Structure 1
Amino acid sequence: MSMENPNLPGGPLSGLVASAVEYMVDASQRSVLFLDIMRQRGDQYREHVAQTAPHVLQYAAELIMDGRKLDEPVNYALVRIIPPKDVEIDLKRRPFVVIDPRAGHGPGIGGFKADSEIGVAMKAGHPCYFIGFLPEPMPGQTIERIARAEAIFIEKVISRHPDADGKPCVIGNCQAGWAVMILASLRPELFGPLIIAGAPLAYWAGVHGKYPMRYSGGLLGGSWLTALTSDLGAGKFDGAWLVQNFENQNPSNTLWTKQYNVYSKVDTEANRYLEFERWWGGHVNLNAEEIQFIVDELFIGNNLAAGKIEMSDGRRVDLRNIQSPIVVFCSEGDNVTPPQQALDWILDCYADVDEIRAYGQTIVYTVHKSIGHLGIFVSGGVAKKEHAEFSSNIDLIDVLPPGLYEATFEAKGEETTSSDLVVGQWVMRCEARTLGDIRAMGGNSPEDERRFAAAKRVSELNLAAYQKFVQPWIKTLVTPQMAETMRNLHPLRLQYEALSSQNPWMTAVKSAAEDIEDNRKPVAQDNPFLAFQEQMSKQIVHALDSWRDAQEALSEAIFLNLYGSPAVQTALGIDPKSEPSRRREMSAEHRAMLEKRVAQLKSGIGEGGLREAAIRSLLYIGSARGMVDERSIEALRRIRRDYSGQRMTLPEFKMLVREQFFMLLIDREGALAAIQKLLPEDVNQRRAAFAAIREVLSASGEIAGERASRLRRVATLFGVDTGEGESNVAPFDPKAKAS
């Protein structure tokens, strides 16, 4: 019996040796190429920070207003995005204004690539503007001053588009989201729909076992550390610390995955990695007054939804003053701004959906299942789906009756009804929701509210002590030169500088990388050592994730036990047995205004003509379904476009829809009974209007159930047949005379 020698050529051992040699050649080449990518990253960083106005916008832009030249100067600017040659802009469509977060990074992420917020808005035909900022704040710059500057910018956009069909749609990403909400509550007349993406608005909210970032303020003893950092920066807060806080949330990605992904795909990943790192490493500074406001009033104070933020002129920020539709985009995969922090401000402001309607507000939210924080406004997939649908259907959102809705998306396919009425690749629906749907996502108990209130009180005490006993000494000792040196020595900056071409060792790396590119020998994908490498990487990620989970569990336990202690709460002046509620009651002034408005609407139920009757009927029938489909709005838009009579502007149409909706809400039977009084005697006009109603309702599917029953009732009021198998219903004539 013969036996195969494993050492002979072609034997198992020789094959393993060949695989090992192949892998080692590939690994050594990848190591050099990886280091060269790090060198390119460092050089890119140096070039980026040397620019006067660094940004990562992919699009060309025209400066419209420079905030540094305002009476109250700020480091912000308004630019017009110049559309690419293959993109056609309709100047009669409402403009979009994108505001990026000033949360440690520079501007431009909203227009980072073609599939971005700016990109999809331009593809939908909207003129686009961008509000960005410079790395250094102006002396005396505050959050309130920035808000006033942004109001001036938006006024400028409005003046440049006098024929637009609506006020600008403003997108606020992350930290810019709460800034937009503050401004919209103070200057509601400036805004069309607001899209608030990944923006924290209820800062204490969350659920146990997740999202530990909300505990940070209490665990660090409050905002005294923010004040110390600003003082060490000679009155400026280094945004690199904000980026560091973000990176600390996911150590496996920060310490391993991000770099390993480049190393393991070194032949294909360099451009994408360097493109992102150009933004990620573009750190900016904030004035001490700005960051202190953000931490004290928002992240630790949680005063935004509570209506406790007061401007210098005495006005209080009240989110209930916002008159524009608010679109909130959040994700269950976001550990920085989880759904609770993005949505629970609604619970603080309103008792129920009827109260939302009483303030005339329309709130639409959508919750992604998995995308991370940055992906909300960076991911191309999100841009092509959610942001593209919001851009294409912004008029739908603008004319929605007041209330609370969830935006859902269904892929368009061959079986999709009326697919020609679907603008993009997804069918967007706005489905009616209640506050119970938001509560079902989880949130704080009264015990949790007392804990965060205790942490807030500790922060106030520690900050007062620091400002009295320590701050004067720090300010005396720290010079601007010392502060600049400390900023340059920040670990996040050093990692870029250390591997740039300023390091003489990296010259050899560049030369070696050039030689390797000419003789690259990538390993085969079935190489066993490559599989072992992948397995080791997964083990490292698992270990780092386990360490993170343990740290987060410990942090949560410390916070809950320390600030949940009845003795601690009593010492801080908080009743351990209280049932705190942050929800505000409706003011007597607003209630009186509401009663007056109700009386006006009741008196106007019998006023109007065919147009009012048709919209009232459409709302009555459509409300049985509890949702609005983009296909119905597109059908209505086409009818409006083809109509040859006197046309209403979009704001006029929006007002008409709201008035008819509220009439039905106040006195449905009275409003329906009055329809016959509004109709013309000409039966052809009534038939044409009824046919238009059917066309809009059937655009999103078969009219059945309660909707069919209501349609028959409306047909009786109109004095026409329903059209179900009948031939005497006249087809819609867009030239028919209307009141």
Structure 2
Amino acid sequence: MANDPADVFVDAISYSIDAGQRLTLFLDALRQRGLQYEEHLAKLAPHVLDYDAELVCDGRQLARPVNYILAHIVPPPDVVIDELKRPFVIVDPRAGHGPGIGGFKADSEIGVAMKAGHPCYFVGFLPDPVPGQTIADIALAEATFLERVIARHPKAEGKPCVIGNCQAGWAVMILAALRPELFGPIILAGSPLSYWAGVSGQNPMRYSGGLLGGSWLTALTSDLGAGTFDGAWLVQNFENQNPANTLWTKQYNLYSKIDTEAERYLAFEKWWGGHVTLNAEEIQFIVDELFIGNKLACGEIRTADGTSIDLRNIRSPIVVFCSKGDNITPPQQALDWILDLYGSVDEIRAYGQTIVYAIHDKIGHLGIFVSAGVARKEHDEFASNIDFIDMLPPGLYEAVFEPKASAADNQDLVTGDWVLRCEARTLDDIRALGGNDLEDERRFATAARVSEINLSLYRALVQPWIQASASPAVAQAMRKLHPLRLQYELFGSQNPFMSWLDTAASEARQGRQAIADDNPFLKAQEVVSAQIVNALDNWRIMVERVSEQAFRTVYSSPLLQSAVGIDSSSPRRPRSAAKSKLHAELVAKRIEELRSGFARGGLLHACVRALLYVGMAKESADERGFEAIRRLRKQGEHARKLTLAEFKALTREQFFMLLIDQEEALRTLSDLLPPDPGLKGAALALIEQAVTARGPLSGPAAGRLDEVRRLFDSASPLDASPHGKLRVATRQGR
């Protein structure tokens, strides 16, 4: 701080003028937010899409009407769509906010998918549900939407890639388990599927249901709303997770950067303040079956006809994108459903599933959908390489992103600024992220039972009185008085005390006198702001610790666990996905079918088998190798006739052959080769190009490539020793 009193006085005057102008412009931004809020709610179908859209199907016109719609995104003039590429269908979450966040701006899920040449569709919804609609009705509607999309793209080389954002993720997975034939790859962005999972001392939102006594409060809120649940309460739950941002940082950031931040702030608030409602039946299902019950991953949810929803029925690749910085859907909640369903990677393969996960280091929950940086990196790579992901052999992989500039070899095979590499992982890699132990599982199971009891008591003793006294008029008044809505309406057109801002804000902009960053009073302001944030963070940490300790204390009680039917001495988890003996029998039958087909096929089968044999030693694959394989697919008349789905089936068949009996798969490989040395030589050259697309091979992979060379060069079949070394064998008896 300057020592001269005159300098201090000048700095103080400059700061006062600047602070006054900032305050005026800040209030004007809040007023614009209020006016924007009113204008947004007045629309019949409010959304925040940054693209023109054409209505394809109105869910209200279906046999079982819902408030969902399917829209085709109109490509901008500078975007060229390839009708041979699979369409993308983006499904936005109905978790309190309105639709459109998947296409919020050019750098978005929709934007990068269209940039990659894919037709795009959007599944959104209207602010209010159709009376009586259920989650099952919505699933049926979305199945119809996908059927319409597939019918509109008969030339596409694959089924639609479906992106489920946040809460839309579990809805997409339920439908994919019931109608797997409708889906291409599925991308789950920030989607919780294992609601009990987490790490002690972090992300305490999972304790909320138990601390509130279960879902009876959800039923009460719906009853007070005359059968309608106000989504603003869900948004309030999100905001409560970070009081420093809610109460201070978000508004202070606007105030301190008022000259540059207002436009971005208003664009985000247009979505954040577009609250929607749900039917009581919908929200009760979500809370009972998912939030508190955690039944999806264990196969305990059933349809009206008794069909169990088993996520192992999904046949499409599943891409899980989550972040360590996400306090709403931490990696454990995004990934631990895999541990609930499978005992090993071999079990994942036995079900023919391909699961790819990517974990961001720090981005928050909303950043997964709205961050331009995430869109240009992760979402762009997923969109550009969706066929590569679709062709991966069954198993568990982690997606790793490497800057294109650091890729020394074959940069011409890279489509964007990053190289997508998928590395093989095991279930231990997911366990290493942290998660529940057996005691934690018992606590959450106890909380779920307590919730069921309290809900039954509420329905028997209290609900009739509440429903008799609630009315639509009172419910509407309660929604308008919700604190989140009031913060918008207080600065809207109905407040006459805000009218002076038109003139004052105009004068502040014309006479704007921003101060230098080294102004001592501005520095003091930043220090005070940091202290406020620190105090609110400390408050949050204290509340989280107390909440966690209270939950653990209450639901660890052996007496309470016994009272609700949880065996505290059992070494088994209270809930886990059931194993199917029939599936094991089907797998055994399929293995026998594969064994009988080792020597059937031709050059293409041999090339794919050889590629997989070398690639399995590397335990990873990247987009450069797939681009080279794409060229291999174009070789030969038969290969060109194969569709992508047929080529994928061929690849999986050869992969499973190598898994069940690698020695026999290699011994019979020579039987698949043609006698023409020229054809074999050309095929071998393409194989070498594919497997070395990332650079020269070393170690076991290089040794396997040498074995493949000998197989292709030999005129006789080759046998394999138990150690994998091949030796020439004569064709005795052939």
TM-score bracket for this pair, using the shorter chain length: over 0.9
* Counterpart in the other structure of 2:161: 169
CA distance in 2, matches of 1:251, 1:286: 26
- Superposition RMSD in Å: 1.3
Trace 1:129-278 onto structure 2 (pairs within 5 A): 129-278=121-270
Q: In structure 1, what is the Cα distance between the partners aligned to 2:134 and 2:566?
A: 32
- Distance of 1:615 and 1:461 partners within structure 2: 57
Distance in 2 of aligned mates of 1:356 and 1:714: 28
Q: CA deviation at 1:711?
A: 1.0
Q: Distance in 2 between matches of 1:112 and 1:371?
A: 17
- Shift of the 494–430 alpha-carbon distance from structure 1 to 2, 3 Å rule, reads same
Per-residue displacement from partner, 1:476-500 (whole Å, max 9, x unpaired)? 1011111001101100001100011
Further displaced range: 583-592 or 461-470 = 583-592
Contact 1:306 1:583 in 2 (8 A): yes
Contact 1:686 1:720 in 2 (8 A): no
Candidates 564, 576, 589, aligned match of 1:596 = 589
Kept after mapping to 1: 8 A contact 2:298/2:578: no
1:583: Cα distance to partner? 3.3
Cα deviation per residue 1:495-547 (whole Å; 9 max; x = unaligned)? Answer: 10001132111111221111111111111111111111111110000000000
1:683 aligns with 2:689: no
CA distance in 2 between partners of 1:192 and 1:414 (Å): 31
Tell me: CA distance 1:533–1:616, structure 2 relative to 1, closer, same or farther (3 Å).
Answer: same
1:697-712 counterparts in 2 under 5 A? 697-712=691-706
In structure 2, how many angstroms separate the alpha carbons of the residues matched to 1:116 and 1:75?
A: 24
Output aligned runs, 1:559-708, within 5 Å: 559-581=551-573, 582-641=575-634, 646-708=640-702
> How far off its partner does 1:211 sit?
0.7
Instruction: Give the whole-Å Cα distance in 1 for the aligned partners of 2:553 and 2:519.
Output: 51
Verify: 1:291 aligned to 2:277, yes or no: no
Structure 1 residue 693 displacement after superposition? 0.2
Residue in 2 that maps onto 1:734: none
Correspondence list, 1:297-696, <5 A: 297-413=289-405, 416-581=408-573, 582-641=575-634, 646-696=640-690
Output aligned runs, 1:91-102, within 5 Å: 91-102=83-94
Cα distance in structure 1, aligned partners of 2:188 and 2:337 = 13
**Which consecutive unaligned segments of at least 5 residues does structure 2 have?**
716-734
Please give the alpha-carbon distance, in whole angstroms, between the structure 1 residues aligned to 2:569 and 2:438: 9
What code does the residue aligned with 2:582 have?
E
Runs of 5+ consecutive residues of structure 1 not aligned to the other structure: 1-5, 722-739
Q: Residue type of the partner of 2:345?
A: V
Report the 3-state secondary structure (helix = DSSP H, G, I; strand = E; otherwise coil) of the residue aligned with 1:312: coil
Counterpart code for 1:363: I
2:80 to 58, 82, 88: 88
8 A Cα contact 1:454 1:572, kept in partner: yes
Partner of 1:104: 96
Aligned residues: 713
Deviation at 1:574, TM superposition (A): 1.6
Check conservation: 1:687, 1:720, Cα contact below 8 A.
no
Contact 2:48 2:101 in 1 (8 A): yes
Measure the CA separation in 2 of the matches of 1:683 and 1:609: 14
Match of 1:59 in 2: 51
Distance in 1, Cα, partners of 2:191 & 2:407: 36
Aligned-pair identity (%): 64
Contact 1:449 1:580 in 2 (8 A): no
TM-score by length of 2: 0.96
- Amino acid corresponding to residue 532 of structure 1 in structure 2: A
Identify if the C-alpha distance between structure 1 residues 489 and 11 changes in structure 2 by more than 3 Å, giving closer, same or farther. Answer: closer
Q: Please state how far the C-alpha of 1:593 moved relative to its aligned partner.
A: 1.1
Secondary structure of 2:701's partner? helix
Aligned 8 A contact 1:99 1:172 in 2:
yes
Letter paired with 2:644:
L
**Other structure's SS at 1:222 match:** coil
Distance 2:195 2:231 in 1: 20
Equivalents in 2 of 1:458, 1:274: separation in Å? 43
- One of 711, 715, 727 as aligned partner of 1:717: 711
What amino acid sits opposite 2:81 in the alignment?
Answer: I
Going from structure 1 to structure 2, the CA distance change for 1:705 and 1:615 (only over 3 Å counts) comes to same
Distance in 1 (CA, whole Å) between partners of 2:174 and 2:3 is 73
Alpha carbons of structure 1 residues 453 and 674: separation in structure 2 relative to 1, 3 Å: same
Given that 1:569 and 1:576 are in contact with CA atoms closer than 8 Å, whether structure 2 keeps it comes out as yes
Q: Is this contact kept in 1: 2:609–2:654, CA < 8 A?
A: yes
Question: How many angstroms does 1:642 deviate by?
Answer: 6.8
Secondary structure at the aligned position of 2:421 is classed as strand
Contact 2:35 2:492 in 1 (8 A): yes
Conservation of the 8 A alpha-carbon contact between 2:161 and 2:183: yes
CA contact (8 A) 2:628 2:686 kept: no
Q: Would you say the 8 A contact 1:99–1:176 is kept in 2?
A: yes
Task: Measure how far apart 1:585 and its partner are.
Answer: 4.3
